[in-house]
Structure 1
Amino acid sequence: MDLSSEILKNFESLFESKENYDVIIQVGEEPNIEEIYAHSLVLCCQSNYFRTAFSSNWEEKNNGKYIFKKPNISPHIFEIILRYLYCGKIDLNDEQNGLDGLKLLMSVDEFGLHTLYEHIQVFMINNLKRFLQNDTIKILEIIFQHESLATLRNSCFETICQEPNILFGTDKILELSAELLELFLEREDLSLIEIKVWDNLIKWTHAKHPTIDTDTSKWSKEDSTLMKETISRFIPLIRFQDITSREFSHKILPYEDLLPKKLRHEILNSYLDPNMKQVELLPSRFVSRSFKMFPNGIYVR
């Protein structure tokens, strides 16, 4: 007979009542600090973080109560974790917010709750497409800054590369940091034909300098220099071998001053002589490998 449910129910009652608590956890930042009550014995049993904290005297003590301060965790997130520590329950549902899920995941990692961490990570990965629809940039920024989220970061990049409309071709691309944009453009699995990659890059570059005219014929020497400085790190990531001569003429030639002179000559020579191979270009993206490109600018699978 399994009697564990009754025991867990008793611990849940203890969690709800806070009876005989000896720990006060101050969570959140001003002006939203809340005090949450807990029992040191339960915390020590369930988390190495708290066991170390109590044994190393990290905490201060006041009137017989241990005082913890956790300003980096919201009251809502801490309550979720505390309920799990007492009775093994956590509610991850379809309404879960992607940003809240990330904050919960990082907090769980801080407390060393590895089993719970894996459970939440699987949930996040299974719902990534939905989460990324609403909070794309914030989610990407958070996972980029935290090495502990490497697995989730890889899944985010794979999801967006498979479904580039989540980010590319939208105004969200304009908010992307240069570091993140570079990581996307260097990937071979980005499912965009190369001229669309270029279009997005130009759109992003213009957004960094909104006072510069979109008509390149109106650029001053200073305008051209500034745009070139902004875009130069990304030029080696463009697979020009997968851009047709027609696309080059209409979309890239107006920006020819942004390209290194040697590269411009190589591209133009390749259009004049199809047998001439362009050098120092990255391999074609997977999507381009599935198409045959003709000089008239038509792609055929």
Structure 2
Amino acid sequence: MILKFHSDFFKDISSLLNADNYNVIIKVGEKENIKEFYAHSNILRAHSQHFKYIISNDIIKKCNILTINKPNITPTVFEIILKYFYTGKFNIENQSGENNFDLLIACDDLFLEELVKYVQYYLIDKQESWIQQNFVLILNIIFNLPNFKKLQDYCISFICRNPLILFNSKDYGYLKNTLSIFIPLIKFINIASDDFYDNVRPYEAIIPIDIYDDIMKYYLVKQPLS
């Protein structure tokens, strides 16, 4: 009975998704990729602390239809979120890694904590290859965002296991201020000397001098046989 009630409840709510009696217009996207979505203030406020904060009863009383601009959220992403609000369904299996990462950022912006957790796990479990191909930019975006610890930990672990990928990244020079804090975590002794010379040595200027000295000592001083 509980499951059927839950299903019937969302069936009734979902009928409002394309109804004409909306009182909020959400304009998302920017430039050539802009779309307007129509919604109900009570639905938005019930699901999102962000909307609850910006949509007050006084504001609704003052204007028949409230317009909210969210240029930082793409139409594709907001359509997924709005469908979740009205139907309880959240299907991201057919979305690209890029779209799901944008979705993660949007969910955080709207204070959708459960979805933030879910999307992080999904990206790591199902779209790991996309993360690894884009981890430098991903880490730069999420590094100072406290709700993305799962994804942060994954990226840091990946860097420690694959340090040469960090130095070979085309984005490294642009992001060196962010990424330099991870240098002490790298196990340079696991990097072959020729790889170090070709791929790491060019970045000597940003490696802390004490760490660089230890690295050079390791490569230049004959190590005792174990």
Which deviations, in whole Å up to 9, do the C-alpha atoms of 1:124-167 show, x marking residues without a partner? 232463123332332222123534434321221112322446x2
Cα distance change of structure 1 residues 202 and 39 upon mapping to structure 2, 3 Å threshold: same
Residue of structure 2 equivalent to 1:235: 209
What is the DSSP-based 3-state SS (H/G/I as helix, E as strand, rest coil) of the residue aligned with 1:92? coil
Name the aligned partner's letter for residue 8 of structure 2.
E
Greater percentage in helix: 2
On the 8 A contact 1:77/1:103 being kept in 2, the answer is yes
Cα distance change of structure 1 residues 129 and 145 upon mapping to structure 2, 3 Å threshold: same
Residue of structure 2 equivalent to 1:47: 48
TM-score w.r.t. structure 2 length?
0.80
On the 8 A contact 1:140/1:153 being kept in 2, the answer is yes
Cα distance change of structure 1 residues 122 and 174 upon mapping to structure 2, 3 Å threshold: closer
On the 8 A contact 2:137/2:171 being kept in 1, the answer is no
On the 8 A contact 1:161/1:190 being kept in 2, the answer is no
Cα distance change of structure 1 residues 29 and 152 upon mapping to structure 2, 3 Å threshold: same
Matched, 1:7 2:5: no
Gaps of 5+ in 2: none
Larger Cα-atom Rg:
1
Which deviations, in whole Å up to 9, do the C-alpha atoms of 1:43-77 show, x marking residues without a partner? 12222222222227678965x11111111111111
- Distance (whole Å) between structure 2 residues aligned to residue 45 and residue 57 of structure 1: 17
Seq. identity, %:
30
Cα distance change of structure 1 residues 243 and 5 upon mapping to structure 2, 3 Å threshold: same
Aligned-pair distance for 1:13?
3.1
Gaps of 5+ in 1: 206-229, 246-270, 275-292
The RMSD of aligned alpha carbons is 3.2
What is the DSSP-based 3-state SS (H/G/I as helix, E as strand, rest coil) of the residue aligned with 2:20? coil
Name the aligned partner's letter for residue 118 of structure 1.
K
Cα distance change of structure 1 residues 82 and 130 upon mapping to structure 2, 3 Å threshold: same
Cα distance change of structure 1 residues 242 and 31 upon mapping to structure 2, 3 Å threshold: same
Q: Which has the higher contact order (CA 8 A, sep 6+)?
A: 2
